[in-house]
Amino acid sequence: MFRAYIKDTDDLDYNDVPHKGHFVYGNLIEGGNQSNTDAIVGDLLEVTDEYINPEWWCSIEKGSAEQATGLKDANGKEIYEDDVLENPKYRSVVKFGSGSFYADVIGAVNRFPLAGEWQTSVVIGNVHSNQELLEAQHDTRTD
Cβ pair 89, 64 in contact under 8 A: no
Asked if residue 51 and residue 107 are part of one domain, the reply reads: no
Asked if residue 101 and residue 129 are part of one domain, the reply reads: yes
| Domain hosting residue 72, numbered range | 68-135
Task: Give the separation between CA 117 and CA 131, rounded to whole angstroms.
Answer: 21
Asked if residue 84 and residue 32 are part of one domain, the reply reads: no
**End position of a domain, from candidates 61, 93, 111:** 61
Q: What is the pLDDT along the chain (143 residues), one digit of tens a residue?
A: 999 999 888 878 877 899 998 999 999 999 888 888 999 999 999 999 998 899 999 999 898 899 999 999 999 999 999 999 999 889 999 999 989 999 999 988 888 898 877 788 999 999 987 778 887 554 443 44
**End position of a domain, from candidates 15, 32, 61:** 61
Report how many domains make up the chain: 2
Asked if residue 99 and residue 48 are part of one domain, the reply reads: no
Cβ pair 86, 129 in contact under 8 A: no
Residue 134, C-beta contacts closer than 8 angstroms, at least 6 positions apart: 84, 93, 106, 127
Task: Give the separation between CA 39 and CA 59, rounded to whole angstroms.
Answer: 4
Tell whether 95 is covered by a domain. Answer: yes
Tell whether 141 is covered by a domain. Answer: no
pTM of the model: 0.82
Ordered DSSP codes for 48-93: -SS-EEES-EEEEETT--EEEEEEE-TTS-EEETTEEEE-SS-EEE
